[in-house]
Structure 1
Amino acid sequence: MASILIFAGTTEGRKIAEYLRGHAPEVYVCTATEYGKELVEEGQNIHVLAGRLDVAGMQELARECQAQMVIDATHPFAVEVSGNIRTMCGREEIRYVRVLREGDAGTDRAVWVESIREAAQYLEDKKGNILITTGSKELDPYTRIPDYKNRCFLRVLSTKEAVEQAVSHGFEGQHLLAMQGPFSREMNEQTLRHVRARYLVTKDSGRAGGFREKMEAAAAAGAVPVVIGRPREKGISLQETMDMLAKKYGFRQPRKITLAGIGPGGADCQTLEAREAMEQADLLIGSARMLAAAEGIPAEHYEEYRAGKIREFIGANSRFHRIVILLSGDTSFYSGAARLKEELRGYDVTVLPGVSSVSCLAARLGAGLEGTPCLSIHGRSCNYLDYLREYGRLFLLVSSPQDVDTVLARLCRYGWKKARVSVGSRLTYPEERIITGRAQKLAEKEIPWDPLSVLYMEAPGGRIPSGARDEDYLRGRVPMTKGEVRAVILSCLEPERGDVMWDVGAGTGSVSLQMARRALDGMVYAVERNQEAVGLIQKNRHRLRVSNVLTVRGEAPGILRALPAPDKVFVGGSSGNLPEILKKAWEKNPQARIVVSAITLNTAAACMDCMRLFPEHPAQITQIQASRARKAGSFQLMEGLNPVYIVTFEGVKQAEGERK
């Protein structure tokens, strides 16, 4: 009997095998290793074989299983294996289908090369540690990197073959990481930080190969990705392969997928079109609470909320062709719909809106949504206190009872004890509850908050210091940048809404707090070594109601190692370490803009030296001297403040996807 032969060295091969289970003729799946064999479940029409084959071995296997089609789902970089498969198919006159792995976006900071050899050559004159994640098969080029045994860290599969290959090339001890993926972004970031990597070497292995997670981790850890681009080849995508197989063997295609917002949860708030889609479905997917809202509908239920897992289930179960994925609230408001649409590209996907819990609470309270920020800390973070300061009121989605307690405690700590807060729980359910009171009173009560809650809060009246005037700050004995100079510094920095910024030598925090007010969705790291100054920054944060400033006590540049890559940097005090501070910032992000204020001629001279040390960062110098009037009898006497030099260093401009 004719069969399909799959060479499965990747996730795509396993998915195709599962997709064909019970539908196609006999399917023979060939993996290179016993480990790969264990990942594919045998049964029904699926047969799994393990072992590396040359062209002759492939021919013998194809004849034995009477293959009428060969699907090549091997790794994108297994060029030799793919070549052998094509040669075999040509000799045996068997249809050959090459499955291409879906690509994924890199980063603007990535350096792209065409081979491991080019990657090693690029790194030969670079300084700093290197994390290598390109496998154990081609290691010779890395041994040519100066001092590679101390600088290079190799991550390979936890197999005997891979470890022996690594050790034979001098990678051992703490420089050899034998681990089995897949690796999350957090795991990649921790590894990069653990080995103090300045560079990450990886292949463009696509979405299924964890490429995105590596790129995000490198950005977070301040490492430069050196990416080996894929060999160019012809073929079709995984979804196109499945569509072709469905057409050839009579599967029901195309499938219709609907992402339906079903409101806060109660049946009364479900829209008619959402209910109709649910009743016509043969598969409903969602969390347990979502599926409970569809009780009584005669469709198969699959409990899952993770986008990747949902995509895998749909891809492996072709018998379903009317699929509805249930989402709480409104699909356009902090919903999982966006991620699902991305995961389900290639399918026919329709999105249906729903009633959000925010709309429901607003209606219950008689509050308007216009001009009111609607934010969420459900599985994410945001600077909600800063929005409250700017807008005076806001709605906030939370994910746990602890979130409610935390919000109330922070309101009190930042001087909003009298803020009026309403907590709506289990909205539209029979047990719906809305509790309203002052923040301090609610915080003092031991109320068992419900996880399914949304908050509405209004700030009490009264002036909040803007931070524009010097008298807005507590100063103690700590020097402070004057208001006129702060204004020029901010105009040079040009803080944007989502910027990550450093203030090195923050003093009282006067510049940090003004930066933070501009970066409403960002974060400012106020670096200061003086304990009294650290205490003043904390007090001024609460005084000005600014929460997105994190105080970091320590000496620059050493303390900067632990900070995330900055978009903007202000250096108000360098303690003679200005070149090292600039270098550390640009190691994290070469495109960062840095502004330095120099009161002494020594610091101004240091800035001139840095202009020569870093010619790739063009600099602009501004000198400012302001005068303030002082009453002298019946006259106003102008007194000059100290002149200040303000030097702005621009970041390196890079073309998108820098290539070697």
Structure 2
Amino acid sequence: MPPGSLPWNEPGDALELRRSCSIRSAEGGPIAVAESSKLVIVGVGDDGLSGLTEPARAVILGSDLILGAPAALKAVEEAEGRKWELSSDMTEAVEQVREALRADRPVMVSTGDPLFYGIARFLFDRLGEDRFEIIPHVSSMQLAFARVKESWDDAYLADLGARPLEAIVARIRHAEKVGLFSSDRCPPARLARALLDRGIDDFRAFVCEHLGSPDERVTRASLSELAELEFDPLHVLILVRSPDLASKADRFASRLRFGNPDDLFSQNQPRRALVTTAEVRALALAQLNIRADSIVWDVGAGSGSVAVEAAQLAPQGRVFAIEPRADDLALIPVNAERFGVSNVVPVSGRAPEALADLPDPDAVFVGGTGRHVGTILRAAFSRLKPGGRMAVNVASVEALVDAHRLLKDLTRDLLFWDVHLSRGVEQLDRLRFQAINPSYLLAAGKSAE
């Protein structure tokens, strides 16, 4: 039997799949599967029954009830089984599936591969996967990459209707190839404008409409052209980073996720020496263990270098940059825009009072604590979520002693560093090292209990 083929020889045998399929455990014993009717979810394309394998076609033609969205039902309209349009309300859809399972030979038709951004996993989670069998069709994403002659094993794939636009843009920034299902809420033109607004302009775009049908169409465009175009809702959007646009390449592409050079950030000249240096930022952010959806506080944010790099690490989260000085606070959105992040929230005020209305954080960075180090650290640590992390950067031995004493009373998970570093500088044919201002870093973890 060829790899991937289903266990029957004649079309009439296809319907036995729902009752004869068995699964064996790792120990060799069978896993019990109910003998009642199963719902076979069959993937279809725009070419309908003619584009299916013979076994898949036999399942649909032999069914007494065919459930599916309007587009999928239209693709199999010549089948004689009773058609039942699936509700767009997922709660109602689950109840429809429960009812369909009472039929003798129920089938659901779904476009493409039901397990690739399809409905199958949703139904598995709510009704149990033993109630279903899957016969996939070639997904529209797979067809789209084939049409533009690009591999897709290394592509970033997403559904614009299921994830926030900002999170997807953040992932596209670092991708070479992208495959996207668009939505009414976010058509290709809106995505193109969002990318261009953030300086991302070095992608070729391919919009693949009605894949597999007689009126299939593939449109190639630059992002600036894509921003002015409209397309049929039935499409897949492919983005491929283009070498011939290297001169216009994303101005953020060469920047690091964290530990960027200090001079990339706008700073107030009188206080340039007070910025958290790149090396300390890198060490502190590594200790904070920031996730993609983390809530982060940067207390004493200055011009926002830590906040901006934390935002790059948490594209689906939010970073609150708390700063009392109006001139520094004004630079935070400037630096956020420079790095193309939109999830930094400047907060005017002095800690701990300014922390009162903020959501509890997963990670906290504290810098420039001054005379109020004890009050600020105690307040921030009390709000830190269980399992969260805190990093504290201070410049004086006195502040280090105070911070160490306080954090030692709050947690056993405590690390500290005396950060003395020199940066290499090349002068003609010689290499020398230039010392940067020393500082102290502490990292503390809060018990998950």
The question of a shared fold, defined as TM-score above 0.5 by the shorter chain, is answered with yes
Task: Decide which of 650, 655, 660 is 2:445's aligned counterpart.
Answer: 650
- Counterpart residue type for residue 449 of structure 1: F
Residue 390 of structure 1 aligns to a residue in which SS? Answer: coil
TM-score, normalising length from structure 1? 0.53
- Counterpart residue type for residue 621 of structure 1: F
Alignment of 1:221-240 (within 5 A): none
Pair 1:311 & 2:83 matched = no
Change (3 A) 1:397 1:588: farther
Pair 1:626 & 2:421 matched = yes
Pair 1:412 & 2:196 matched = yes
Task: Tell me how far 1:598 sits from its aligned partner.
Answer: 1.4
Could you say which residue in structure 2 is the equivalent of 1:504? 299
Could you say which residue in structure 1 is the equivalent of 2:139? 356
Structure 2, unmatched stretches of 5+, are 1-33
Residue 138 of structure 2 aligns to a residue in which SS? Answer: coil
Q: Is the 8 A contact 2:390 2:445 kept in 1?
A: yes
Instruction: Please give the alpha-carbon distance, in whole angstroms, between the structure 1 residues aligned to 2:118 and 2:378.
Output: 40
- Counterpart residue type for residue 134 of structure 2: V
Task: Tell me how far 1:375 sits from its aligned partner.
Answer: 1.7
Pair 1:482 & 2:266 matched = no
Task: Tell me how far 1:652 sits from its aligned partner.
Answer: 0.7
Alignment of 1:629-640 (within 5 A): 639-640=434-435
Pair 1:388 & 2:388 matched = no
Q: Deviations over 1:315-356 (max 9, x none)?
A: 456641322223333223222211111111275311222222
Q: Is the 8 A contact 1:420 1:437 kept in 2?
A: yes
Pair 1:514 & 2:296 matched = no
TM-score, normalising length from structure 2? 0.75
Task: Decide which of 336, 341, 359 is 2:124's aligned counterpart.
Answer: 341
Residue 391 of structure 1 aligns to a residue in which SS? Answer: coil
Pair 1:450 & 2:232 matched = yes
Could you say which residue in structure 2 is the equivalent of 1:292? 74
Pair 1:466 & 2:255 matched = yes
Residue 173 of structure 2 aligns to a residue in which SS? Answer: helix
Change (3 A) 1:341 1:318: closer
Instruction: Please give the alpha-carbon distance, in whole angstroms, between the structure 1 residues aligned to 2:137 and 2:367.
Output: 50
Instruction: Please give the alpha-carbon distance, in whole angstroms, between the structure 1 residues aligned to 2:137 and 2:358.
Output: 40
Change (3 A) 1:475 1:356: farther
Q: Is the 8 A contact 1:629 1:638 kept in 2?
A: yes
Change (3 A) 1:441 1:363: same
Task: Decide which of 505, 509, 523 is 2:317's aligned counterpart.
Answer: 523
Could you say which residue in structure 1 is the equivalent of 2:161? 378
Larger Rg: 1
Instruction: Please give the alpha-carbon distance, in whole angstroms, between the structure 1 residues aligned to 2:434 and 2:224.
Output: 46
Residue 187 of structure 2 aligns to a residue in which SS? Answer: helix
Instruction: Please give the alpha-carbon distance, in whole angstroms, between the structure 1 residues aligned to 2:41 and 2:433.
Output: 68
Could you say which residue in structure 1 is the equivalent of 2:385? 589
Pair 1:641 & 2:424 matched = no
Instruction: Please give the alpha-carbon distance, in whole angstroms, between the structure 1 residues aligned to 2:156 and 2:376.
Output: 41
Instruction: Please give the alpha-carbon distance, in whole angstroms, between the structure 1 residues aligned to 2:200 and 2:336.
Output: 13
Q: Which moved more, 1:493-502 or 1:478-487?
A: 493-502
Q: Is the 8 A contact 1:528 1:554 kept in 2?
A: yes
Q: Deviations over 1:34-70 (max 9, x none)?
A: xxxxxxxxxxxxxxxxxxxxxxxxxxxxxxxxxxxxx
Instruction: Please give the alpha-carbon distance, in whole angstroms, between the structure 2 residues aligned to 1:525 and 1:329.
Output: 39
Change (3 A) 1:311 1:476: same
Could you say which residue in structure 2 is the equivalent of 1:280? 62
Instruction: Please give the alpha-carbon distance, in whole angstroms, between the structure 1 residues aligned to 2:239 and 2:328.
Output: 32
Pair 1:554 & 2:336 matched = no
Task: Tell me how far 1:592 sits from its aligned partner.
Answer: 0.6
Instruction: Please give the alpha-carbon distance, in whole angstroms, between the structure 2 residues aligned to 1:329 and 1:642.
Output: 59
Task: Tell me how far 1:369 sits from its aligned partner.
Answer: 0.9
Task: Tell me how far 1:304 sits from its aligned partner.
Answer: 1.9
Task: Tell me how far 1:476 sits from its aligned partner.
Answer: 4.3
Q: Deviations over 1:142-168 (max 9, x none)?
A: xxxxxxxxxxxxxxxxxxxxxxxxxxx
- Counterpart residue type for residue 607 of structure 1: A
Residue 194 of structure 2 aligns to a residue in which SS? Answer: helix
Instruction: Please give the alpha-carbon distance, in whole angstroms, between the structure 1 residues aligned to 2:301 and 2:129.
Output: 51
Instruction: Please give the alpha-carbon distance, in whole angstroms, between the structure 1 residues aligned to 2:45 and 2:66.
Output: 16
- Counterpart residue type for residue 475 of structure 1: Q
Instruction: Please give the alpha-carbon distance, in whole angstroms, between the structure 1 residues aligned to 2:309 and 2:162.
Output: 28
Q: Is the 8 A contact 2:294 2:361 kept in 1?
A: yes
Change (3 A) 1:475 1:324: farther
Q: Is the 8 A contact 2:384 2:446 kept in 1?
A: no
Task: Tell me how far 1:305 sits from its aligned partner.
Answer: 4.2
Q: Is the 8 A contact 1:285 1:326 kept in 2?
A: yes
Q: Deviations over 1:450-483 (max 9, x none)?
A: 3333221234424733243223333344652112
Q: Deviations over 1:16-43 (max 9, x none)?
A: xxxxxxxxxxxxxxxxxxxxxxxxxxxx
Instruction: Please give the alpha-carbon distance, in whole angstroms, between the structure 2 residues aligned to 1:266 and 1:476.
Output: 64
Structure 1, unmatched stretches of 5+, are 1-242, 244-252, 655-660
Task: Tell me how far 1:527 sits from its aligned partner.
Answer: 1.4
Task: Tell me how far 1:648 sits from its aligned partner.
Answer: 0.8
Equivalent pairs counted in the alignment come to: 399
Task: Decide which of 37, 56, 79 is 1:255's aligned counterpart.
Answer: 37
Residue 158 of structure 2 aligns to a residue in which SS? Answer: strand
Could you say which residue in structure 2 is the equivalent of 1:424? 208
Instruction: Please give the alpha-carbon distance, in whole angstroms, between the structure 2 residues aligned to 1:602 and 1:354.
Output: 67
Instruction: Please give the alpha-carbon distance, in whole angstroms, between the structure 2 residues aligned to 1:569 and 1:292.
Output: 54
Q: Is the 8 A contact 1:565 1:585 kept in 2?
A: no
Q: Which moved more, 1:594-603 or 1:571-580?
A: 571-580
Q: Is the 8 A contact 2:421 2:438 kept in 1?
A: yes
Instruction: Please give the alpha-carbon distance, in whole angstroms, between the structure 2 residues aligned to 1:551 and 1:483.
Output: 21
Task: Tell me how far 1:524 sits from its aligned partner.
Answer: 4.5
CA RMSD between the two structures? 3.5
Instruction: Please give the alpha-carbon distance, in whole angstroms, between the structure 1 residues aligned to 2:321 and 2:47.
Output: 46
Change (3 A) 1:639 1:313: closer
Pair 1:367 & 2:156 matched = no
Change (3 A) 1:469 1:296: same
Could you say which residue in structure 2 is the equivalent of 1:607? 403
Could you say which residue in structure 1 is the equivalent of 2:9? none
- Counterpart residue type for residue 572 of structure 1: G
Pair 1:328 & 2:111 matched = yes
Report the identity percentage: 23
Residue 164 of structure 2 aligns to a residue in which SS? Answer: coil
